[in-house]
Structure 1
Amino acid sequence: MFDYSAITKLDLENDIKNTLNIGLEQIQKIKNEDTPSLDMFDLFERTLSDLSGRVAFMADVSKEEDIRDYGNVAESIIENFLLEVTTDKKLYEKFKSIKTNNLDKESIKYFDEVIRDFIDAGHELDHDKKTRLIEIEKKLIDLEINFSKNIAADNSEVILNQSQLKGLSIDELNNFRKEEENFIVTMAYPDINAVLENCEIRDSRKKVWKAFNNRAVLSNSPILKEAVALRNEKANLFGFNTWAEYRLQYRMAKSPQNVVKMYDNLVPKLQKAAQNEKVELATDNIEPSDLAPWDIRYLITKKRNEQSQVDNNEIKKYFYIHDVKEAMFSICEDVFEISINREDSRTAWHEDVELWSISDQNNKKTAYFYLDMYPRDGKYTHAAVFDISPGSADEINLPVCSMVANFPNPNTGNGLMTFDEVETLFHEFGHVLHNGIGKSKFARFLGANVEWDFVEAPSQIMEHWVWKSECLRRFSKHIETGETLAHDLCERLNSSKNIGISLLTLRQVSFGLADQHLHGINFDDSLDQIEQESQKVTTINYPNDTNHLGAFGHLLGGYDAAYYGYLWADIIGDDLFSRFENEGILSKEVGIDYKNKILSVGGSRDAEEMVQDFLGREWNDEAFLKQKKLGKS
């Protein structure tokens, strides 16, 4: 394992210099070879991926500001280096010369995708268009890095006194930083979740919600506007009308029109259900027609507490982060016939970071993963799984990834999780499993390297388990008594799963609509107009002094024109889980089939093909509609 523990900026600079020289040597060797092989290109891609995991990744996790800053610089250097490689005409001609008639199916898929990358680099464009394309690509690299950096650097805070935080438990209050008699609410998720879910004071929720959604708005709004304009221009160079058309051509959806069809089918059902939900949720002298975004999570939590007959602060006592984590591992070990073991983490980048390994049914290690689960200054602010290394083709070096999240820290607080945080942990671990179990002869197909609108589907399996009694009783353990949740309480919690679900889903739809608007024919509309238009779908009164697009990291983090994929994958994920519903929630037989036909395949087969193989039919939205209680399509 790479030793991150004592690296300096100079170490990273030397690593970049030395490894890029190795990359240049690999490229020159390919160009000098009479009959280059796909393996030679794969080796180069592994070299660049490893470098990114050693250096650029530090921008999101290092505790040292100078190393985080250099991580961003390194990402730009690597991306620009890769741009130079893919625009190399001689390299393109050499790759095209590879004979494909004797290649297996996976190798042909690899060949086709690399050819596609070369074409996307402008090799089939005329000289002027290719020159402009390179200018656009270089600018987009810098914009994307700065956008992410600005979100991480945002230090917005809301100062509230104890009376303004009525409804929060003593433990939750103790988790805040204090300044004399006041509490500092940062934009870290544990702080945000505590206020938006439990604070009885509506004005306090409003202040915190607005601060969170206005993060980086001043610095990132011009970056976003420039980025979407450049993307549209790039799409035009290739003959597409919009970036969404260009971006979706190789996704499951294939076109923006199919995304519109999905929304047109589901939104009326969701909005009809949302009207009923608002009536059911409205309380605290708030009329259904006056519900605001900062009310929704609070009212859902309150309703869940009533329905389950357990207070949210009490239920958290059953979800100590380490107990939940260990039980989650145990469930996965049983269902997927794997083992998960703690490894020495002294070489990690922070003392809180854990290192684990995954082994197969024969106790052969297949991958490693880090868990970097607690908030700290300058760290990535959301929850995600990062590829660190694809490993080596000979499997001497194994794939490595890291979950990076912002859960309650047991080292500085009580480490008790909300139910939503438990669900997020399971969701992200679905990505870890995908990375740890997925196999391919090529690095670009390993694990979760699948179509972008399928990548979230495997995590839906994990989310479903959170709500099932069979699992709840395994990962719930009272912090004081050690008791698990009683079966009847598990059932009551499960029955509360869909409280406010249509309102929450419409919020997600609004993100997808904003994304499609930004990358559609009207990309040059003002950000305020795009924000306001997209929020209409929620049926909730949205303030005109808030614009979350500057803090919407997905827009310049790989999900551009693709945020619809969360809902798309949600539909597929529900259908995949229907086999567990029908054959056994923790069925090992289904789990192994799922492991072999979905997880282990990675991106070496098209997602449509994988899903049909697992289900024995084409996927549909029946399970999704049933889960959300929306009736038949």
Structure 2
Amino acid sequence: MTANPLLADWTTPFQLPPFSEIEPAHFESAFKTAMAEARREIDEIAGQDGEPTFENTVVALEKSGRQLTRVARVFFNLTGAHTNEALQKIERDIAPKLARHSSDTLLNTRLYDRIASLWEQRESLGLNEEDAMVLERYQKMFQRAGAGLDETGKARIAEISQRLATLGTQFSQNVLKDESDFQLVLETAEDRAGLPDFLLTAAAEAAAERGLEGKHVITLSRSSIVPFLQFSTNRSLREEAFKGWTARGENGGGTDNSEIITETLALRAEKAALLGFENFAAYKLDDTMAKTPDNVRGLLTRVWEPAVMQAREEEAKLAEMARSRGENHEIEAWDWRFYSEKVRNAEHDLDEAELKPYLQLDNIIQAAFDTAGRLFGLSFEEIKGLPVYHPDVRAFEVKDRHGRHVGLFLGDYYARSSKRSGAWMSAFRSQHRLDGEVTPIIVNVMNFSKGARGEATLLTFDDARTLFHEFGHGLHGLLSNVTYPIISGTGVARDFVELPSQLYEHWLSEPEVLSRFAVHYRTGEPMPKPLLDKLLAAANFNKGFETVEYTASALVDLELHLIGDPAQLDIAEFERRELARIGMPKAITLRHRIPHFQHVFSGDGYSAGYYSYMWSEVMDADAYGAFEETSDPFDPATAERLLTCIYSAGGRQDPEEAYIAFRGRAPKIDALLRKRGFAA
């Protein structure tokens, strides 16, 4: 093997990773070398003889481990978006090693003593606001990792971290295996009954990708299965598809996640107890805006009750629609989307098949870019021929209103079997100014069903909203303007990180955005005003269902992490019991059932934290009111304040203070209730 490209200087345009030169085998040696280098750097910082200073300790830590960060970002972006068996094997091997490396750093007594000494002297160090926040971050990070424990406690914490890393990796790989193995082949006209052309085209493309040329395949990608559940008149196939979708991770055999979940929960509970917390939820929430489980439950419960009432009214309408069609069966979970589409058509004269020709992927991308241009002065120029990691990935250079380079944005939009489900934003490089201006490389990953060869890819309105949501995260990374990597871009509290993304969704629904970019993919004609009006009038249609499936998932996540001793927990029984306790309507399932709840079990990012979307939605609904009050969705003064206080600020300020700096006051939940169509 030639010199390892992961460890060399990257001479590619924008210093993009040289993907065409990188092979899976490169990662093993690159991780080994980079971890050894990072360990030497950490040991040098910890072993200094001189008194700790902000520069020789905190700044030095921020500059350490850069090669390891670079290798890890390339690797984990690939394992999410374009993996294979070789990468998955390396991932299983490297996850506990990286956890051990992190523990060796965060549990280093001499290093922690230096941080603690600086923390005690913080008032006399002459730190600016950003420096002070970074010092606070390090103090909290070390304490929450167990740096203050005795040696026995530290050893056990390190063991727990390594085991959790292994379990999280296996959980994620199991879900991906169940997703990629499932395919519903539509053989006959009866199998395809009711399906619109756009879905048949996507299903034919999915079949061709799987070597089934000439057939039609429904996959577990949301952009495939959701429209199938909306339009298929074959009820038995709807049931088969739905059960395949909701059974990921609990099919028995090697991909069953039940034991992984119980062990994960037990280890998290043990970790929380070691650190002096009553349960893992209390530990996790201590470092968020919400602060306590009671605060989270209070928010979710306030929304849950009106949502369930509305969902039951929606279910009654679905049952009536079924009866009107001579179908007198009880509404089941695989029926909801089908009859909901019929009711929406009846009440609003609106159906997805009518909308979709006006929602071309390329145009929605341009709508997101144009909105960023009008709000923040950004421009996006597509650059062809860059060494991206998959032929479908598109690259755009981002510039500010003065023509200066801001960063590189990558868009990876199509579903494929090598990509995990869902949609997300990530970074190959984060912005910082620690020793010169480092510009970001940000990626948005989606799972849209690709159009036929030579044809436009068409989106549902929910797909378009997802694109705007993830691009909001992307802007949070691209517009970051901070000194330190630890607080760059999305390096903020978990229940604040969804504010920029959810807020950005609002602009998709602005008539002046849709009227420009929602044009027919064949004729180029803009969406007719009556259709646009119907779309906007139906904005809150089915909101009871959407709120219930999300809020139930958030409540289940919270309750799972309040259990003191979950080692013997029966996951399926717990899920049934908890849903019965909260009064979950029978015809609605969790948005993410526990066996495939990747937000919570593929790592601990959203563990005891899935509520974050709603916590942030309280802010995003209230924040958009600042634009509504000006009667201009692109009001320059409000946009400038939004840029300064939220999108460019990273984590340099307490999130509550950042929000108040933008809005002039704390957020009010009333805006969220109005947004979802519930009484305030």
TM-score range, shorter chain: over 0.9
What does residue 499 of structure 1 align with? 541
CA contact (8 A) 1:45 1:443 kept: no
The answer for the alignment partner of 1:355 in structure 2 is 395
Aligned to 2:10: none
- Which residue of 1 is the match for residue 416 of structure 2? 376
State the alpha-carbon separation in 2 of the partners of residues 45 and 372 from structure 1.
28
Between the two proteins, the alignment pairs up a number of residues equal to 632
SS at match of 1:294: coil
Corresponding residue to 1:253 among 267, 287, 290:
290
Match for residue 629 of structure 1? 677
1:272 matched to which residue of 2? 309
Displacement, 1:22? 2.4
- 166, 170, 175: which one pairs with 1:142? 166
Name the counterpart of 2:594: 549
Q: Report what 1:87 is aligned to.
A: 107
Deviation at 1:551, TM superposition (A): 1.1
1:471-490 → structure 2 map (5 Å cutoff): 471-490=513-532
Q: Give the 3 Å change call, closer, same or farther, for CA 288–504 of structure 1 in structure 2.
A: farther
Distance 1:344 1:46, change over 3 A: farther
Alpha carbons of 1:345 and 1:255: their partners in 2 closer, same or farther (altered >3 Å)?
A: farther
> Which whole-Å deviations, capped at 9, do the CAs of 1:241-265 have from their partners, x for residues lacking one?
1100010001111000101111232
Counterpart residue number, 1:563 = 610
Report which stretch shifted further, 368-377 or 199-208. Answer: 199-208
Q: 1:579 to 1:280 in 2, by over 3 A?
A: farther
- Aligned-pair distance for 1:138? 1.1
How much has 1:364 moved relative to structure 2? 1.9
The answer to whether the 8 Å contact 2:202/2:452 transfers is no
SS state of the match for residue 165, structure 1?
coil
2:549–2:589 contact (8 Å) kept in structure 1:
no
| Superposed displacement of residue 45, structure 1 | 5.5
Q: Distance in 2 between matches of 1:522 and 1:128?
A: 21
The residue that corresponds to 2:559 in the other structure is 517
The residue aligned with 1:6 is 21
TM-score normalised by length of structure 2: 0.88
Instruction: Identify the residue that residue 159 of structure 1 maps to in structure 2.
Output: 185
Partner of 1:113: 137
Unaligned runs of 5+ in 2: 1-15
Which residue, out of 645, 669, 674, partners 1:597?
645
Is the Cα contact below 8 Å between 1:213 and 1:546 reproduced in 2?
Answer: no
Report the 3-state secondary structure (helix = DSSP H, G, I; strand = E; otherwise coil) of the residue aligned with 2:20.
coil
CA 119–293 in structure 1, closer or farther in 2 if over 3 Å, else same: same
Q: Does 1:402 align with 2:449?
A: no
User: Deviation digits for residues 252-292 of structure 1, max 9, x if unmatched?
Assistant: 11000101111232222222222222233431238999332
Quote how far apart the aligned CAs of 1:602 are: 1.1
Q: Which amino acid aligns with 1:204?
A: L
Please say which of residues 520-529 and 255-264 is displaced more in the overlay: 520-529
CA contact (8 A) 1:517 1:523 kept: no
Q: Which amino acid aligns with 1:526?
A: D
Q: Does the alignment pair 1:196 with 2:202? A: no
- Paired with 2:102 and 2:591, the residues of 1 have a C-alpha distance of 38
Distance 1:476 1:386 in 2: 27
Cross-structure match for 2:404? 364
Change (3 A) 1:200 1:465: farther
**CA distance in 1 between partners of 2:337 and 2:481 (Å):** 39
The equivalent residue for 2:148 is: 124
Unaligned stretches of 5+ residues in structure 1: none
Give the one of 430, 433, 451 matched to 2:472. Answer: 430
Q: Taking structure 1 as reference, are residues 400 and 153 closer, same or farther at Cα in structure 2, changes over 3 Å only? A: same
1:167–1:199 Cα contact (<8 Å) kept = yes
Shift of 1:200: 2.5
Decide which moves more: 388-397 or 352-361: 388-397
Large movers: runs of 4+ above 6 Å: 286-289, 543-547
* SS at 1:246 equivalent: helix
Structure 2: distance between partners of 1:547 and 1:487 = 36
Rounded Cα–Cα distance in structure 1 between residues aligned with 2:588 and 2:521: 40
Choose from 96, 116, 138 the match for 1:96.
116
1:297 matched residue in structure 2: 337
Percent identity, please. 26
- Secondary structure of the structure 1 residue equivalent to 2:334: helix
Secondary structure, in 3 states, of the residue corresponding to 1:497?
A: coil
CA distance in structure 1 between the aligned counterparts of 2:66 and 2:508, rounded to whole angstroms: 35
Structure-2 change in CA distance of 1:30 and 1:5 (3 Å):
same
Task: Give 1:359's aligned amino acid.
Answer: K
Q: Provide Cα deviations, 1:74-120, integer angstroms capped at 9, x if missing partner.
A: 44433321221112212222333445321112212211221222222
Measure, in 2, the Cα distance between the counterparts of 1:334 and 1:126.
Answer: 55
TM-score (normalizing by structure 1):
0.94
Structure 2 SS opposite 1:130:
helix
Q: Judging changes above 3 Å, is the alpha-carbon distance between structure 1 residues 173 and 417 closer, same or farther for their aligned structure 2 residues?
A: same
The answer to whether structure 1 residue 19 and structure 2 residue 19 are counterparts is no
Aligned-partner Cα distance in 2 for 1:577–1:289: 42
Shift of 1:329: 0.6
Q: Spell out the pairing of 1:183-262 with structure 2 (5 A cutoff).
A: 183-217=216-250, 218=252, 219-262=256-299
Q: Give the 3-state SS of the residue equivalent to 1:247 in structure 2.
A: helix
User: In the alignment, residue 106 of structure 2 is paired with which amino acid?
Assistant: T
Q: 2:499 corresponds to which residue?
A: 457
Q: Which amino acid aligns with 1:235?
A: A
Separation (CA, whole Å) in 2 of partners of 1:552 and 1:89:
36
What is the match of residue 579 of structure 2? 535
Q: Structure 1 CA distance, aligned partners of 2:201 and 2:335?
A: 24
CA contact (8 A) 1:270 1:503 kept: yes
Pair 164,600 (structure 1): closer, same or farther in 2 beyond 3 Å: same
Q: Please give the secondary structure, in 2, of the residue aligned with 1:611.
A: helix
Distance 1:255 1:263 in 2: 13
